[in-house]
Structure 1
Amino acid sequence: MKLGTLVKPLLITGLIIAGPAMAAPSAQQVLAASPVDDIVERYPAMMSEGIREGLKRSPQLPPMVADTIGYVVSNSFRAADIEQQIVKNLERDLSGKQLEAVEGWYKTPVARKISAVEIAASDPAAWQQMQAKAAELGKKYKGTDRARMFERFDRAARATESAVDTTIAVQLGLATAMAAFSPDSANYDELKRKIENQRNAIRGVVEQQVYDSYLHTYEKISMQEMGLYIDFLESGPGSAFSKTVTQSIQQAITDPIESIGNQMARFLAPQK
């Protein structure tokens, strides 16, 4: 048998066998393995509900108008668009090896258990239960290792940082709409500056909410399991994944805020 006739089939067979094993998962596959896609699916409803409830606290707006604005907001954000933004940025920011490592983590039993509680906690229906138990859980875990672990978790997950930025963006959208009812209507840049000046105060409130959510969400996750989770978040691939996901969600939410706020302001402006 000629050498060429032997080598060629072996090379082809080797490529067939090695190809699938060496191929890194796609960003879409990694996202599907994580809880992110399930959580993002709830984002339009969460945004709408949050803005609707915020507006209803204002005596300047009738509840019907607040509901209308909530409807406008919910139709201005699409989960598919947010997910597409995340996938695009993951493809740009993470290497094949990093994507493979992230997918590998999310396929472990510990990661699946943690993903399940994170998805459950992202449901708007769980918010009231979370708020109702906040004081009780805060007292229960005060001074414990679980409470002390929060700072490390928060830093690794960028939870408070991301929530503050999102809160400011939402408040800016609300303020732009509410300016239509004020005789001293401020422009977008002025509103943005005023709200940014409140960042420290906003952070204090948001950090407490994030802490309450942390205690509620991970209550049934053991300290050992939380340690493994934070180890992943602090690792190169985990940190890159978390950073890209939070920034992508932030971008997908904040980019339309100014436009939505201006549309709502025009819609709500009193007829002269």
Structure 2
Amino acid sequence: MSFVRHLGLVLFFFVCALQSAQAARSVSAEDLIRKSGGDASIVELREAMRSGLEAVKAQGLPVDETFASAWNDAADAAFQPGKVLPRIAETLNGVFTQAEHDEIAAFYDSPLGARIVQFEKDGSSFKKQAEVTAYAQSLTSDPGKYASRMALYHQLDEAAGLTKISISIAMNMGIAIQAGMVAWGKLPMELSFDDIKREAEKQRPAISQQMAGALYASMAYIYKDVSQEDMLVYINFAKSPAGAKFMAAYFAAVDLALTEAGRDFGKRLAENFGRKPI
């Protein structure tokens, strides 16, 4: 199940990108997700899933053109924005009162809210992975110098539950995808779905540690140009009743939608090889 760990590192960019989709107003949930950049993060995830072939190759599995085509077809079908976005919106519709909508919208309509959303969108691209890694490594040369910033990112993580949701997404999607690969029939083991879940749970501590490190590196890169004062305003919003409710509901909706998409991916991958999903 080391593939699940690889998947977790791929997904952390998407989880950070989801922060840019935190806005609300008196429109449909799908409209507010698109307006705030959530649709772009869904597209990023589909590309990240395509890149997951490299993780499969790293396991020494027989990845040929037929497998690559089956993988990409399954990824494109399961994670198409036209399916995932409406599922997220469906879960969110009716969750917030008008007063909560107005309070959340007031923050994201403010100059600071707009700046933060743009930073999150610009800095969360999957293509930025090398830049994020290089920037994070540059901070390790003098960790004391950046201790106060890392403390702010810890506060944001605690308020928004970023590490928790990223681990949940990585685990749930990894299990579903691994199930599809087992059904493929060419792995060097035979596992039931319960076997896959138990094996994934054994790796939860390692996945949690890796996801936390990756997320903090990403936050350091994304918010590097946001002042400490502005970060505190953002954190206070995330801790407010309306802000906290929105983030919790939004990430729960994303987790549900991506878990379903991951299961769909695993099912499609198995069926592309004429195999029965487990």
Pairwise TM-score range, normalised by the shorter structure: 0.7 to 0.9
Which SS does the other structure have where 1:131 is aligned?
A: helix
Quote how far apart the aligned CAs of 1:183 are.
4.8
Name the structure 2 match of 1:253.
258
* TM-fit CA distance, 1:58: 2.0
**Structure with greater Cα Rg:** 1
Equivalence for 2:20? none
Secondary structure, in 3 states, of the residue corresponding to 1:237?
Answer: helix
What is the distance in 1 between the residues matched to 2:105 and 2:192? 45
1:210 offset after TM fit, Å? 0.3
- Rounded Cα–Cα distance in structure 2 between residues aligned with 1:62 and 1:71: 15
Q: 1:31 and 1:257, CA in 2 relative to 1: closer, same or farther beyond 3 A?
A: closer
Match of 1:128 among 103, 127, 130: 130
1:154 aligns with 2:161: no
Deviation at 1:71, TM superposition (A): 3.7
User: 1:71-111 deviations in whole A, cap 9, x for unaligned?
Assistant: 42122112233322332233222111111111111111111
- The aligned counterpart of 1:72 is 74
Calculate the aligned-residue CA RMSD, in Å: 2.3
Q: Aligned equivalents of 1:234 and 1:107: distance in 2?
A: 18
Q: Please give the alpha-carbon distance, in whole angstroms, between the structure 2 residues aligned to 1:99 and 1:32.
A: 16
CA distance 1:59–1:67, change in 2 (3 Å) = farther
2:191 corresponding residue in structure 1: 186
Alpha-carbon deviations, 1:210-239, whole Å to 9, x = none? 010010111011111111111111111111
Partner of 1:18: none
Quickly say closer, same or farther: Cα 1:224–1:104, change in 2 above 3 A.
same
Secondary structure at the aligned position of 1:86 is classed as helix
2:174–2:262 Cα contact (<8 Å) kept: no
Q: TM-score, normalised by structure 2?
A: 0.80
CA contact (8 A) 2:74 2:268 kept: no
Question: Mean Cα displacement is larger for which, 167-176 or 62-71?
Answer: 62-71
Percentage of pairs with the same residue: 19
Instruction: Indicate if the aligned counterparts of 1:42 and 1:79 stay in contact, CA closer than 8 A.
Output: no
Is it true that 1:205 corresponds to 2:210 in the alignment? yes
User: How much does 1:244 deviate?
Assistant: 1.4
Give the superposition deviation at 1:163: 1.1
Question: Residues of 1 paired with 2:42 and 2:96: CA distance?
Answer: 20
Q: Distance in 2 between matches of 1:33 and 1:228?
A: 22
| Structure 1 counterpart of 2:172 | 169
Range 34-43 or range 84-93, more displaced:
34-43
Query: What is the identity, as a one-letter code, of the residue corresponding to 1:230?
Result: I
The answer for the alignment partner of 2:6 in structure 1 is none
Q: Which has the higher contact order (CA 8 A, sep 6+)?
A: 2
